[in-house]
Amino acid sequence: MVSRRAIRWAAPVAGALWLASVGALAVGAAPAPGARAAGVAEGPAQLSALPASALLLMQQGTGAIVFSRNANAELAIASTTKLMTAYVTLAHEPLDAQLVEQPYAAGIGESLAPVPAGTRLSVPDMLRAMLLPSGNNVAYSLSIDVGGSESNFVAMMNAAAASLHLGRTHYTTPIGLDTPGDNYSTATDLARLTRVLMRNPVVRKIVDQPSARLADGIVVTNRNDLVGAYPWVVGVKTGSTNDAGECLVAAAKLNGLRLISVVLGATTEAVRDADALALLRYGLGVYRSANVAVAGRTYASVPVAGRLHSARLIARRSLTLVLARSVDLHASLEIPRRLVGPIAAGAVEGGIDVTENGRPVQTVALVTAAAVPPPPPPPLVAHRAG
């Protein structure tokens, strides 16, 4: 027979508060303390009025689009181009490879990293020198070191865009300098590319640094001023040219919730940053992350037939859900009233059933933490001779 019980479940977005109810668990829609501290945008109408040319907000984990405006317009993207330069470099070079900074003839006003030609740096250090100060010289060097020539590297970039199904993206440069009508992408494609890049722990660490010291002692500073100013902003890449205006792909991480925002075509850096913050704050206020189960954690102890001890049932996998705060999330525990051995360790003997607004969405199997022995043999009965 299977019994249904309430379970106790940690809800990190509610301040790690333990909540329980009779028969099931309910997680409310109260804003997270961290989200309140970040500040919450008023709503989609206010976001639609933001002045940038294109806007997008995406859940990083699921890829779901939370908000967008003009997000599929093909626009100049300035140095956010370097996100694909980083992707292609990581796809073709091992992290311990030593690459050489190439001579670069910079134009007036170009963004450069203080890396002299001939300097040998590891791939992570080259990416730091390119992504943080938006070093055009380093992006060019990577195209030569990785692709053999700038044109061949650009072909690799376009091939990567096709493989990632970025159908409204085209590259003519690894740097992002204006090439009218040729080097473009969309807010949607940039968010999708960033979502892939942010799966890489090296990239996540690099773009979340206000500054970095390279192996040869060179210090580079992040042009994304939001990193460091807001602890929950964790990247990603700025861009600025005459054609593209001010651009920013940003990312936030708070209480297990990860978001990506894209702002293209802002008029000033201040407007760009304000638009990005408004998008991210809105997402932090609307969504929450809830830890349903942790792999290996004990969720029930069940009596064992014929034995004095109980058997522990543990979660076979972890489960974290990202959902709107307006959604009522419930979890209930289904377990047998007792176990009769022998049962092997790791056998499924129950589950955590999860519903959203009463609709079943997930089940996490509960398995035996150790082998369950059979009942002991019955005692011997002594027979007296007649």
> How much is the pTM?
0.79
Q: All domains of the chain, ordered by start, with CATH?
A: 2-30+294-368 (2.60.410), 33-287 (3.40.710.10)
What confidence tens digit (pLDDT) does each residue in 298-351 have? 999 999 999 999 999 999 999 988 888 888 999 999 999 999 999 999 999 999
Identify the bridge partners of residue 251 per DSSP, sorted by sequence position: 260
What confidence tens digit (pLDDT) does each residue in 203-227 have? 999 999 999 999 989 999 999 999 9
pLDDT of residue 15: 23
pLDDT of residue 151: 96
**Separation of alpha carbons 249 and 199, rounded Å:** 15
Sign, CA dihedral 10-13-16-21, equals negative
Closest by CA to 72, choosing from 180, 193, 188, is 188
Phi then psi for residue 12, to 5 deg, are -60, -35
pLDDT of residue 386: 55
Contact 183, 172 (CB under 8 A): yes
Phi then psi for residue 337, to 5 deg, are -70, -30
Q: Which two tokens stand for residue 254?
A: 């708070």
From first to last of its 386 residues, the chain has per-residue pLDDT tens of: 455 444 443 332 222 222 222 223 333 333 443 444 444 445 788 899 999 999 999 999 999 999 999 999 999 999 999 999 999 999 999 999 999 999 999 998 899 999 999 999 999 999 999 999 999 999 999 999 999 999 999 999 999 999 999 999 999 999 999 987 799 999 999 999 999 999 999 999 999 999 999 998 999 999 999 999 999 999 999 999 999 999 999 999 998 899 999 999 999 999 999 999 999 999 998 888 888 999 999 999 999 999 999 999 999 999 988 888 888 999 999 999 999 999 999 999 999 999 999 999 999 999 999 999 999 888 776 666 65
3-state secondary structure of 256: coil
pLDDT of residue 275: 96
**Separation of alpha carbons 319 and 361, rounded Å:** 12
Written in H, E and C, the secondary structure of 19-34 is: ECCCCCEEECCCCCHH
For the chain, give the mean pLDDT.
88
pLDDT of residue 383: 62
Residue 377 CB partners (closer than 8 Å, separation 6+)? none
Q: Which two tokens stand for residue 292?
A: 């349903």
pLDDT of residue 283: 93
Amino acid code (one letter) for 23: G
